[in-house]
Structure 1
Amino acid sequence: MLEPWLALPGAADQVATWSKLTGLPLERLGTTATAEEITDTAVTQPLVVVSALLAFDELGKRHRIPSDVVVAGHSVGELAAAAITGVITRDEAVSLAAIRGAEMAKACAEVPTTMAAVLGGDEEQVLARLAELDLVPANRNAVGQIVAAGTVEAIDTLIADPPEKARTRKLSVAGAFHTHYMASAQDAVAAAAAAITPQDPTAVLLSNFDGKPVTSGVEALARLVSQVTNPVRWDLCSATMRELGVDSLVELPPAGALTGIAKRELKGTPTRALKTPDDLEGITGLG
């Protein structure tokens, strides 16, 4: 996840600093980790934030970031978005990601839970079926793309008997993220966030809570905490991007999934998924 970005000037030193901050060997985990290590949410979450920040900082060196830029992050990516817009520092974002990941891993061990993608079908029928099984629509990523979360038993029942005209796919995740099953993790993140003095965002920052811009740093930090147990409304973030007239989209690493959604939800909008530094060249909409 980190290997292509570590070759950038200063990147290795920055990652070494963040490794000391978090107590995690981030360079090794981001380059030579085993498959088991890299899928551990305690490892994945800080790596996601680190890779996003390294890429954004290099993006800013090579291009002029427009003053009216709109910034949004998906799930743990909101920590990177908060750092990019100045709500929290980069060190605070990486530290919170490490705490968030470790505590969510602990919460996952308390009760066997998981998640499943539900694709297609009538939205009302899908949501009704989830409620019937006591499942939570933890991610509403786009029209016809909902991620259900809950107990393993309930998810297995959903897969065996899905809503009409809907397809389901069990996800390889540690547990039911963005649900009440993560309450203990939220408490830990709240305790860490209490030591942070947030600043108001310096750019338009969209929230996973309702897709709307957040103008208060205090509110943005509070939402970073509550997001641990709240659903991710990326569908609403996409809707706000349309309303604001976003005319190009750059996805920070690990990139690909949100670009795919944008091609459907923001049709005609140029997109770029930053997977390696080579992808930083010739980006539409940046100087």
Structure 2
Amino acid sequence: MAKTAWVFPGQGSQSVGMGADLVTLPLAEARFAIAADILSWSVPQICQSEDDKVSNTLYTQPCLYVIESLLVDLLRERGFSPEVVAGHSLGEYVALYAAGVFDFSVGLRLVQRRAELMAQSSQGIMAALMGFDREALDDAIAATEGVVLANDNNPGQVVISGTIEAVEQIMETVKSKRAVKLNVSGAFHSPLIAPAAREFQDVLEAVEFASAQVPLLSNVDPTPATDSAVLKQRLAAQMTGPVRWREISLALPDLAIDKVVEVGPGAVLTGLIKRTCKGLTLANVGTLAQVEAFGG
């Protein structure tokens, strides 16, 4: 029988209209009501807003968490479960929920505060680079103060983060097929967001984590872990640390994973994994139709 990993996308995978096919399900109605009590706004309304409110960090992260955790529970209702979980940036919170580390409400409160702090972080910028020489990029980052590798997505795609000057210098000096600045409020996954990370640490420390029911590969340390203290420590480092997604992808075959299911809107993560690991079966569950067609 195939061993399956569930992976959860983060900011950038959202789209206007996501979750629209879920809203009338009894489980979804109950979940959206709980979310409205916590957030003081409606997830379905934000997701359906034609002015793309869902792409504002303040809304993006809670909306993704609510939609993705709902998809997790719909899959579980049908008897499915993973052997391993991982999430990309914000998606790691859904992975922790899927692994039973905290309940829905606790996770949403963490995500809400994370989104608030990150939305307020106006220092620095981020940029995506595609099609580059990895050694040249690593050398340039090492020689340039104020910039770090924020997302190591796959061998041909990364995101850098830092001061405006440092990021622009890398974009100008490292040859790539494409380099584009991201529409985000600050230099996420870099030391520039350390003040927000310190404030979030106080929130995180007050939350009790349970041991994970299945191993989780964390962004800052892509080795499997279930210990609650380890998972919390890794999550605490995540806001300023790198998303090591390429290494997470490479770890999956070593864990005897045969199939990877991206649970959430879009197909960003399966696209990244496809370019890193050729032998894995990939599937996407981001809509009700995909839930109902899912075969394990």
Same fold? TM cut 0.5? yes
For residues 274 and 19 of structure 1, the distance between their equivalents in structure 2, rounded to whole angstroms, comes to: 24
The match for 1:273 is: 284
Indicate the percent of aligned positions where both proteins have the same amino acid. 32
The match for 1:171 is: 182
For residues 33 and 89 of structure 1, the distance between their equivalents in structure 2, rounded to whole angstroms, comes to: 31
Deviation by residue 1:8-58 (Cα, 9 ceiling, x = unmatched): 2220221121121133332311222622x2221111111111111011100
Shift of 1:77: 0.6
1:131-170 to structure 2, matched below 5 A, reads 131-134=142-145, 135-159=147-171, 161-165=172-176, 167-170=178-181
Q: Is the 8 A contact 1:55 1:274 kept in 2?
A: yes
Q: Is the 8 A contact 1:100 1:188 kept in 2?
A: no
1:62-73 to structure 2, matched below 5 A, reads 62-65=78-81, 69-73=83-87
Q: How many residues align?
A: 278
Shift of 1:61: 1.4
Deviation by residue 1:151-206 (Cα, 9 ceiling, x = unmatched): 223323333x2414553222222221111111122122211112211111000111
For residues 59 and 51 of structure 1, the distance between their equivalents in structure 2, rounded to whole angstroms, comes to: 13
Deviation by residue 1:207-259 (Cα, 9 ceiling, x = unmatched): 11121112211121222121011010011111111211211111111231001
1:226 to 2:227 alignment: no
For residues 38 and 199 of structure 1, the distance between their equivalents in structure 2, rounded to whole angstroms, comes to: 31
Q: Is the 8 A contact 1:42 1:101 kept in 2?
A: yes
After TM superposition, the structure 1 stretch with the greater mean CA deviation from structure 2, 5-14 or 47-56, is 5-14
The AA in structure 2 aligned to 1:220 is L
For residues 123 and 157 of structure 1, the distance between their equivalents in structure 2, rounded to whole angstroms, comes to: 16
Q: Is the 8 A contact 2:121 2:185 kept in 1?
A: no
The match for 2:55 is: 39
The match for 1:264 is: 275
For residues 281 and 263 of structure 1, the distance between their equivalents in structure 2, rounded to whole angstroms, comes to: 24
User: TM-score, normalised on structure 2?
Assistant: 0.88
| Residue 46 (structure 2) aligned to one of 24, 29, 49 | 29
1:86 to 2:100 alignment: yes
The AA in structure 2 aligned to 1:265 is T
Shift of 1:268: 3.4
For the residue of structure 2 that corresponds to 1:30, the secondary structure is helix
Deviation by residue 1:78-129 (Cα, 9 ceiling, x = unmatched): 1111111111211111111110010011122xx2x21111222221210121
For residues 78 and 230 of structure 2, the distance between their equivalents in structure 1, rounded to whole angstroms, comes to: 32
Q: Is the 8 A contact 1:99 1:188 kept in 2?
A: no
The match for 1:130 is: 141
For residues 91 and 143 of structure 1, the distance between their equivalents in structure 2, rounded to whole angstroms, comes to: 36
The match for 2:22 is: 5
For residues 264 and 167 of structure 2, the distance between their equivalents in structure 1, rounded to whole angstroms, comes to: 29
1:120 to 2:134 alignment: no
For residues 104 and 16 of structure 1, the distance between their equivalents in structure 2, rounded to whole angstroms, comes to: 25
For residues 197 and 102 of structure 1, the distance between their equivalents in structure 2, rounded to whole angstroms, comes to: 21
Q: Is the 8 A contact 2:154 2:273 kept in 1?
A: no
The match for 1:198 is: 209
Q: Is the 8 A contact 1:49 1:97 kept in 2?
A: yes
| Residue 197 (structure 2) aligned to one of 186, 191, 196 | 186
Q: Is the 8 A contact 1:272 1:279 kept in 2?
A: no
1:104–1:165 Cα change, 3 Å: closer
**RMSD of aligned Cα (Å):** 1.7
- Higher relative contact order (CA closer than 8 Å, sequence separation 6+): 2
The match for 1:59 is: 75
